[in-house]
Amino acid sequence: MKKHIYIYLLLIACLCSYTSFLHARETISFNQGWLFKKGPFSSEPAKVVSQWNSKWEEVEIPHTWNAKDMQVKVNSFYEGTGYYKKNYYADKSLQGKRVFLRFEGVGTCTEVYVNGKLVGTHKGAYSAFATEIGTALKYGEDNEILVKTDNTARPDVIPVNHSLFGVYGGMYRPVWLIVTEQSNITVMDCASPGIYITQKNVSHQSADITVKVKLDNGSLKPEFLVLQNTIYTQEGKKVASDDQDIELTPQGTQSYYTTFKLKKPHLWQGRKDPYLYKVVSRLLADGKVIDEVTQPLGVRKYEIIAGKGFYLNGEKYPMYGVTRHQDWWGLGSALKNEQHDFDLATIMDVGATTVRFAHYQQSDYLYSRCDSLGLIIWAEIPFVNRVTGYEAENAQTQLRELIRQSFNHPSIYVWGLHNEVYQPHEYTASLTQALHDLAKTEDPDRYTVSVNGYGHAEHPVNQNADIQGMNRYFGWYEKKVQDIKPWIENMEKEYPWQKLMLTEYGADANIEHQTEYLGDALNWTKPFYPETFQTKTHEYQWSVIAEHPSIIASYLWNTFDFAVPMWGRGGVPARNLKGLVTFDRKIKKDSYFWYKANWSKDPVLYLTQRRNTEREKKVTSVTIYSNIGTPKVYLNGQELNGIRKGYTDVHYVFDEVPLNNGKNTLTAIVQYKGKEYKDEIEWNYTGEKKREADSYVNKSVHAGW
């Protein structure tokens, strides 16, 4: 009897000893201690390490080698190869585990080596990728991690050129070391979370939630495990849970499903109430959690009705849209969370409800923040500008990666397939259709969109996605500012069935370029890009858009100025100046306050043309934006009379205001809810004049505007 008890206790001890080594995954920052060397190189990777061993630069990830050269001169940036290396001591305790590296973004084509062995490759600058490295590691020793990356434009990798925006080279997003047990929630499914949450029949009464979990067994034998899926409220209360007993075999990745019916769910209501549940998927062995992944759940229903608008949970929702390129002055694309947070705070401040993140997959952190802020977003791949005939496979791969990696973000309502891609039309149309079919296979419940720069729906590359986007720059690249109205009315008449979005519109604005002399069109090939023309464009065009529900959503181009290394326009090399905010994020242009006054619930009182200080006309006009009531305006202490409404309810104008010679002070005042709001600017008038555009060619405010 005693012998049997001893054997039983010994077995229990062995079991406890075994299970004590099992634990949930570890995700460790892998961003410190890197060395960098910029090419070009002609040697093999192993030889590069020894050849350049004494000439490496210490860097911290995120890092790009194009932070400066892509932003200051036209077509003079380094496009080529760079190497990163890092010594990593692999503790002996990791033996028997699975070890992965997950790269959030590397520009553009990447090879990863561990101790001279190739462990993974990736093509594409914007999607994450993961590679398993455990079998190449030496445990109890230092290991050399070497990453080769190349941002040279290639015909088989989108984007195929640097024309619309520059593809920054380097490891410009964070890197993570992930350690799991042999059986895990897969890390290698396109670097996705391995979990896919779908929702059906969403209403205020109930919602059907299905959780798909992909599992991977890296051992050589079946494992008897428990898969547990649990839904928690935002406050941490468990609302539903399910356990499945499974036999996980080593043959490939296997999918398991759990469906829940949530009763009276707390719906995700955009900016008004971005309520998030969380889904926690756990893998257990002998009662102990060996892997765990948490994903957001925003219970919501998106619906688009042609000619009427966008609906969130059955209610019409205003789609006040902006766009965003990720790069910053002096940083390029190597951003930390604080830069993403700044940009999102700016977008929230202007009153936007939806964002087109163009023209590529952006940071997963950014998408997560949109989930919690209630911004409805558009995510897309960098299939832009032109085709080569060799990019089809890579375009489909990048779309698959985007969808799988971003699947669970409730803020995403649409997958973008292409932007302004044309000849050869047959090839482009066929590839767009294939991308649409792929998106619907991966994610049947979201919309797809393609974008055309021409103004007619029958263009040969159109009608291959759920939504037809149109980029229209009336008054800038074509026709007159006012031609937007007949274009929209014609689209309403000829294509009433079409889900139509105005996906880009606007005009460039160099804040050093100012004038009172404005026509209805500006020749963008000239060097003079006055801020006042941008303001005029947005004032009129937004007022037209706001009156036409057939425009399901509109996206002004762009929130921030950004780098275009192949351009030299508007007196600033390598810059697109269509932003509402300067590249360095320091100055908000007049158009910014136009949208904030129209969109935001925050009080706005703003006098325009504060940088147009040297007045050209003695008799001029004064414009004020106010969403808190009719302002009183004073010129040099004297109240002005004759105020009129402009294009919208927040738009106020005084016509034919005579200035004094010399300094003139304008003051606007509104009493609102017991508080006085005041704005004041100064103008200077020294005589009638009309400036010549050529005098602005080489002027600049500072290096970063």
Q: Residues 598-630: pLDDT tens digits?
A: 999 999 999 999 999 999 999 999 999 999 999
CATH architecture classification, 619-685: Sandwich (2.60)
The upper half-sphere exposure of residue 311, i.e. CA atoms within 13 Å in the direction of its Cβ, equals 13
CB 623 within 8 A of CB 652: yes
Catalytic choice (79, 104, 401, 420): 420
**Among all chains, which residue has been given the structure tokens 């940088």?**
611
Residue spans in the chain of domains classed CATH 2.60.40.10: 195-297, 619-685
Quick check: helix, strand or coil at residue 289? strand
In the chain, the N- to C-terminal Cα span, in Å, equals: 86
How far, in Å, CA of 313 to CA of 207, rounded?
A: 11
Note the pTM of the prediction, 2 decimals.
0.94
Q: What is the pLDDT of residue 643?
A: 98
CATH superfamily of 195-297: Immunoglobulins (2.60.40.10)
Beta bridge partners, 130, equal 102
DSSP 218-247: -SSS-EEEEEEEEEE-TTS-EEEEEEEEEE
Residues of the chain with CATH 2.60.120.260: 25-180
Structurally, what CATH architecture does the domain formed by 302-602 represent? Alpha-Beta Barrel (3.20)
Tracing tokens 């059955």 back to the chain, one arrives at: 314
pLDDT of residue 541: 98
Could you give the residue range(s) of every CATH 3.20.20.80 domain in the chain? Answer: 302-602
Q: Is 420 marked active-site? A: yes
Q: Cβ–Cβ contacts within 10 Å for residue 619, how many?
A: 11
Distance CA 265, CA 60 (A): 43
pLDDT tens-digit map of 111-121: 999 999 999 99
pLDDT of residue 586: 98
CATH number assigned to the domain covering 25-180: 2.60.120.260
User: pLDDT under 70 in the chain at which residues?
Assistant: 1-23, 42-54, 691-705
pLDDT of residue 390: 98
Encode 363-420 in three state secondary structure: CHHHHHHHHHHCCEEEEECCCECCCCCCCHHHHHHHHHHHHHHHCCCCCEEEEEEEEC
> How far is it, in rounded angstroms, from Cα 521 to Cα 442?
44
